[in-house]
Amino acid sequence: MNQTARRPLELYLTLPILAFAFYDFANTIFSANIVTLFFPQYITETVGTNPRLEQIASTIIAYANALAAILLVAFAPLYGVTMDRTGRRKKYVVIFTLLCVSAAIGMGIFGGMDTARWFGLPNGFVLAVLLFVFAKFAFNSGNVFYDAMLSGLGNKKEIPLISGYGVALGYMGTLFGIFSVLLLIGDRAVHHTFWLSGILFLIFSLPLFFINRDQPQQTKPRQQFLKGYKDIYQTFREARSYPSIFYFMIAYFFINDALATAIAMMQPYATTVVGFEAGTFLIIFMVATLFSIVGAIIFSFINRNIGSKKTFTIVALLLALAVAIAALPLPMWTFWIAAALFGIAMGSTWVVSRTMIIELAPEGKEGQFFGLFAFSAKMSAIVGPFIYGSITLAMADYGTLASRMAITSLIIMVIIGLIFHLRVRDQKYTV
């Protein structure tokens, strides 16, 4: 690997790095269009016809996201071990992307069907929810392998810039995805946005499929399937011998809890609690996305100059401030400020967290610790939406107060994460 840091422009135009970044462009179309925007809108329009049912709709959205995370937690222990044993990352990115795209297209096909009633709901609605759960599981699974590809693209000084470049291009994908859907789908039913988003995800994934290559690595002997779970448990025990990465994973658990839940619940909260129309929320989300792009780029340079630990602390504080503004019954215009701050935090969190894992993981075990990192992240993606959905379900009779209480719980998560993050030390372990 080149040990001399390349200039940013030279780095960004390198073909494998450009293809890597375009996958961020591609998968953010799915994440923004389906997870954050149109799936919550689809649920709310189908279920929520009064203040109480709006809270029930929020519960369905939250629980669907939590179920997808449960599936990932069940399989994540295998992923990191698979990477370290075989050296293969791209192969699994391709597989999980194709599964995610297929499920997204299925959501678009069945979302408008109403030929029978299952659990008192249209059968197409039930199928769309189940396909969403599988699509998000496949999406997150592919990202475990995709994130681990980062370490093979540059040296220590280049990694933050590559990570920031990918995230910034990813949020440009968000804007492209939204405008494409609005242009091509128009006033048609919201479930049509699902199949188009899936196809766009596939198209912009193709550069990575055909250009990038896994680094040569000697394949290790096959082990028993269940040994992967034993290995991830051993990695967890081993992580305790490396306090910095252990504390960071706990910190990220709580920070990601708040971030992932806010992303999943942003649309129903803004429309049913704050009172924005669906069209206005699209503009708010695009504003947040623009700030995500700016945040990803700026914080990649901040990360390089002041270090990952300080940068992550700043990002977490911005996230806490954004959630606090959104949670309080303030004038509607203040939500625009919250959206901008949240966008910065959203874009920069993934830039810094991916870099920290590479910096803190023992040499030669990056893939194994990326697997544990994903395990920690997705455990939090169960807890956050589950808590949020449970609060809105239990307090549904109180209307919008239920959602305000639910989002307030995210501030507590950020504070707990910061307490653990303060115990992280900047150091690279060797084995």
Query: 276 pLDDT exceeds 60?
Result: yes
Residue 408 lies in a domain: yes
Average pLDDT over residues 161-189: 84
Residue 316 lies in a domain: yes
Lowest pLDDT segment from 273-277, 373-377, 405-409: 373-377
Name the residue with tokens 């002041």.
306
Q: What is the pTM of this model?
A: 0.80
Average pLDDT over residues 312-322: 94
Lowest pLDDT segment from 176-190, 201-215, 333-347, 376-390: 376-390
Residue 426 lies in a domain: no
Lowest pLDDT segment from 140-149, 188-197, 206-215, 347-356: 347-356
Average pLDDT over residues 214-218: 65
Q: Give the separation between CA 249 and CA 80, rounded to whole angstroms.
A: 15
5: three-class secondary structure by DSSP: coil
What pLDDT was estimated at residue 1? Answer: 45
Cα 98 to its chain centre, rounded Å, is: 18
Q: What is the CATH number of the domain that holds 59?
A: 1.20.1250.20
363 phi, psi to nearest 5 deg: -60, 135
Instruction: Name the pLDDT band for 2 (thresholds 50, 70, 90).
Output: very low
Number of domains, the chain: 1
Average pLDDT over residues 126-134: 96
What pLDDT was estimated at residue 176? Answer: 92
Residue 91 lies in a domain: yes
Question: Which tokens belong to 401?
Answer: 């107060």
Residues 6+ apart with CB under 8 A from 9: none
What pLDDT was estimated at residue 227? Answer: 64
What pLDDT was estimated at residue 419? Answer: 94
Instruction: Name the pLDDT band for 430 (thresholds 50, 70, 90).
Output: very low
Name the residue with tokens 């678009």.
108
Give the DSSP letter string of 117-184: EETTEEHHHHHHHHHHHHHHHHHHHHHHHHHHGGGGSS-TTTHHHHHHHHHHHHHHHHHHHHHHHHHH
Residue 5 lies in a domain: no
Q: Give the separation between CA 144 and CA 228, rounded to whole angstroms.
A: 15
Q: Give the separation between CA 23 and CA 345, rounded to whole angstroms.
A: 21
Lowest pLDDT segment from 11-15, 174-178, 252-256, 423-427: 423-427
Residue 10 lies in a domain: no
Q: Of the candidates 346, 330, 334, 327, which has an alpha carbon nearest to the alpha carbon of residue 288?
A: 346
Residue 282's domain comprises 16-213+226-421
**For residue 44, what are the CA distances in angstroms to 2, 39, 278?**
51, 9, 11
Please name the amino acid found at residue 144.
V
Average pLDDT over residues 88-95: 90
- Of residues 31 and 359, the one with the higher pLDDT is 31
Lowest pLDDT segment from 23-32, 189-198, 366-375, 398-407: 366-375
Question: CB–CB of 86/222 below 8 Å?
Answer: no
Instruction: Name the pLDDT band for 429 (thresholds 50, 70, 90).
Output: very low
121-122/117-118 β-pairing: antiparallel
Name the residue with tokens 């189940």.
130
Residue 188 lies in a domain: yes
Please name the amino acid found at residue 268.
P
Residue 244 lies in a domain: yes
Query: 57 pLDDT exceeds 70?
Result: yes
CB atoms within 10 A of CB 317: 14
Query: 411 pLDDT exceeds 90?
Result: yes
**For residue 215, what are the CA distances in angstroms to 75, 83, 140, 153, 384?**
24, 11, 22, 10, 36
Helices 243-269 and 334-360, interaxial angle, to 10°?
150
Report the percentage of the chain scoring pLDDT > 70: 91
